[in-house]
Chains A and B, each alone.
Chain A
Amino acid sequence: MTSRLVYVCEGGDCTEKGSVELFEQLRNLLHEWDPKEEKIRVRKYPCFGGCEHGINITIWPDKIFYSHVKPEDLPDIAAHIKGGEPVKRLMGVVKPDVEEFIWQMLDCPY
């Protein structure tokens, strides 16, 4: 089983901005390429704390934090996940301490 994960935030602010629909769209897009989730698993995450900059998506363990994601950004994000370049225009938006904190939450020592 792959340990690579893409998380779409489903906190209150991100949900208000349409993260539930965005999650479905991203999952459909990636499942066309990886139907059994052997390369990456697509999951929702309760909240990343970057609420002002939602919709937020993270890729772990790559430690990529995308903010202000809109449906039109999904093909570029999918291309990155499939092996392309990270989508720079969506990165570095949240404060570094927020980003670092999220990696601490996801980096389980066990």
Chain B
Amino acid sequence: MSEVDLEAKIPNNVGLRDNKRLMKALETWQPAFLEWWKDLGPSDFNEDQIYLRTAVGVGKGGWAHFDYVKMPEYRWGIFLAEGPEDRKIHFGDHLGEEAWKEVPGEMRNRLRRLIVTQGDTEPASVEQQRLLGKTAPSLYDLRNLFQVNVEEGRHLWAMVYLLHTYFGKDGREEAEALLQRHSGDEDNPRILEAFNNPIETWVDFFCFTTFTDRDGKYQLAALAESAFDPLARSTQFMLTEEAFHMQTGENGVGRILHRTAQLEKEGKDAKSEGGIPFDIMQKYINYWASASMDLFGGEDSTNAAESFSMGLKGRYREGDGIYSDPRALEQNYKAEIPTPDGKLEEKEIPLRRAMNALLLDSYVQDCKRITMRWNRDLEKLGTDFRVVFPSKRFNRKQGIYAGHYYDPEGTPITEAEWNAKIASWLPSEEDRAYVKSCMKPVYEKGKIANWIAPPPTGVNGQPFDFEYVKFH
């Protein structure tokens, strides 16, 4: 592993100084990235000083530095996690072989597609969230939004580094295309559909970072097991930063629920006080949870089987050795499959073909853990409402349950029942209009909007009323 070079134009620990050709290629891409940031990154705040965390290394003794920085001057760097030089492949057909330092020819196209798809989501989410700063509920939240945005930008850098370094001309073209596709662009949209709709409110943002970023975590975690060592190390370090993004969401939703419970406890009607009623929160959770589950892909997938057998994507925490068969050849996955008459029938899928389903199961468990945490807080506050994480069959547009109708508990229903109940399960136009009406900026130090509770602690040991953003 190379030393951390923080003085370079592009901070890195990948020895860019020793690879002039690569350095030049990345330095050529850098102005295009900055141009993209100014055009499609957070609007209106590029001249303000934001209290941000910047990655400055990957090792022991701290990896990040906090200080005020103008976002366009953020030091987007390229960092690979530390790891043994002689790492072995720990799953799939190549089990026990040396991990690859270069891309094997026969895996080039598949690997490039995986990296491009992952890379495409990073700038996409920044584009989706670009107007949110205008309605931030507090300086603390505004700062957190920008932290998420700059780090998604750094994750783009991580994927672009891989494309430039290991995929030659094709990789350079793909890196350029990552800045040319835009969220919601009719002619040149982002690859995954969920990244083409703007995130217009902070309720959406907190749900997105809770559920959609968490899908990202699971995809990154699967890639972090990869036999292609540079990809594994890149994604391992991305996961370190991603944890904050999910925490922002998890705490954000929790703070909204907390505030609503407080209003209720005071005998006030949440809606007439500008709070977000519980039923609306549940609908937003239903919407974002189901949309995020769609990102895992088909439950029965030969594509996923091939990525596993080739050693490109592992199961969640594969490296911990928690799976009895690292080749995944001996077992079947039990799935409930819809029958033509609308019932559910148990069917066995060869385990390798069920890799997406397994990853989704890990994700669902994680989401239920969060729900339990929110509910413990609601219980403490003495309210009867409890959040329910929807069934993985509910409102699916992808996978085996797409095209069928289920209620949030996962019970099969008819289309007519679905149509009659949809407004009580998913946000209606009226709900969205109401939530939007609550989104008013609060930029005063230590103040916060009435629909969300302040956090118990601030960032990096600072209090909530710290001046997280200094306006120019």
User: Using a CB–CB distance below 8 Å, which chain A residues touch chain B?
Assistant: 1-3, 5, 10-12, 16, 24, 41, 43, 46-49, 51-52, 60, 95, 97-98, 101-102, 104-106, 108, 110
Set of chain B residues within 8 Å of A52, measured between Cβ atoms: 376
Task: Check if B373 is an interface residue, CB within 8 A of chain A.
Answer: yes
Which among B60, B321, B372 is the interface contact of A101 at CB below 8 angstroms?
B372
Given A5-B320, A24-B60, A43-B320, A110-B358 contact (CB < 8 Å)? yes
Is B372 a contact of A3 with CB atoms below 8 Å?
Answer: no
Contact call B322/A5, Cβ cutoff below 8 A? yes
Taking each of B217, B250, B369, B373, which has the highest tally of chain A beta carbons within 10 Å of its own beta carbon? B369
- B90 to chain A minimum Cβ distance, whole angstroms, is 9
Q: Mark B309-333, 1 if CB is under 8 A from A, else 0.
A: 0000001000011111100100101
Nearest-neighbour CB distance to chain A for B394, whole angstroms, equals: 21
With A41-B321, A110-B351 as contacts: A101 and B369 at CB distance below 8 Å: yes
Main secondary structure of the interface of B (DSSP, over half): helix
- Residues from chain A with Cβ under 8 Å of B217 in the complex: 46
Q: How far apart are the CA atoms of A108 and B358 in the complex, in Å?
A: 10
A105 touching B372 by the CB < 8 A rule? no
Decide if B247 touches A105 in the complex (CB within 8 Å): no
Contact present for B321 and A1 (CB under 8 Å): yes
Within 8 Å by CB of A110, from B243, B251, B320, B323, lies: B323
Categorize the interface residue count of chain B: 20 to 34
How far does the alpha carbon of A51 sit from the alpha carbon of B60 in the complex, in Å? 24
- Of the candidates A2, A24, A98, A106, the one whose C-beta lies within 8 Å of that of B372 is A98
* Contact between chains at B373 and A49 (CB < 8 Å): yes
Q: What CA separation (Å) do A3 and B368 show in the bound complex?
A: 25
Docked complex Cα distance between A1 and B321 (Å): 8
Q: Which residues of A contact B315 (CB under 8 A)?
A: 110
Chain A residue nearest to B377 (CB atoms) is A52
Which partner residue on chain B sits nearest A2 by CB separation? Answer: B321
| Residue positions of B touching A, CB distance < 8 A | 60, 217, 243-244, 247, 250-251, 315, 320-325, 328, 331, 333, 351, 358, 362, 365-366, 368-370, 372-373, 376, 457
14 A-B pairs with C-beta separation under 8 A: A3-B321, A5-B321, A12-B251, A24-B60, A41-B321, A43-B320, A46-B217, A46-B243, A48-B369, A97-B372, A101-B369, A102-B369, A110-B323, A110-B324
Q: Are A105 and B322 in contact (CB under 8 A)?
A: no
The answer to whether A101 and B328 touch across the interface, beta carbons within 8 angstroms, is no
Of B322, B369, B376, B457, the residue contacting A47 (CB under 8 A) is: B369
Residues on A with beta carbons closer than 8 Å to the beta carbon of B323:
108, 110
Chain B residues within an 8 Å CB radius of A105: 362, 365-366, 369
Determine which of A51, A102, A104 lies in contact with B373 in the assembled complex, contact meaning CB atoms within 8 Å. A51
Bound complex: CA A87 to CA B144 (Å): 38
Known: A12-B247, A101-B369. 17 other contacts (CB 8 A): A11-B243, A12-B243, A41-B320, A49-B370, A49-B373, A51-B373, A97-B372, A98-B372, A101-B365, A102-B369, A105-B365, A105-B366, A108-B322, A110-B324, A110-B325, A110-B331, A110-B333
Q: Tell me the number of A-to-B contacts counted with CB atoms below 8 Å.
A: 57
| A97 shortest CB reach to chain B, Å | 7
Contacts of A46 in B (CB 8 A): 217, 243, 366
Question: How far is it, in angstroms, between the C-alpha of A49 and the C-alpha of B372 when the chains are bound?
Answer: 8
Which B residues are CB-close (under 8 A) to A108? 322-323
Give Cα A97–Cα B379 distance, bound, in whole angstroms. Answer: 14
Name the CB-closest residue of B to A61: B322
| A16: chain B residues within 8 A (beta carbon) | 457
Residues of B with C-beta under 8 A to A51: 373
Tell me if A101 and B320 are in contact (CB < 8 A): no
B365, closest chain A residue (CB): A105
Distance, CA A62 to CA B244, complexed state (A)? 30
For A24, list chain B residues within 8 Å (CB).
60
Nearest A residue (CB) for B380: A52
Contact (Cβ within 8 A) A104 B331: no
Which residues from chain B contact A49 at a C-beta distance below 8 Å? 369-370, 372-373
Residue in B322, B331, B358, B376 whose beta carbon sits within 8 Å of that of A106 in the complex: B322
Query: In the complex where A12-B247, A12-B251, A16-B457 touch, is A104 in contact with B358 (Cβ < 8 A)?
Result: no
Task: Return the chain B residue nearest A51 by Cβ.
Answer: B373
- A102–B243 Cα distance when bound, in Å, is 19
Q: Closest Cβ of chain A: how far from B97's Cβ, in Å?
A: 16
Q: What's the nearest-Cβ distance from chain A to residue B252, in Å?
A: 12
Within 8 Å CB of A95, what residues of B? 376
Give Cα A60–Cα B320 distance, bound, in whole angstroms: 11
B residues near A12, Cβ cutoff 8 Å: 243-244, 247, 250-251
A2 to B243 CA separation, bound complex (whole angstroms):
28
With the chains together, A65 CA to B351 CA distance in Å?
Answer: 30
Q: Which 4 A-B pairs have the closest CB atoms?
A: A12-B247, A49-B369, A105-B365, A108-B322
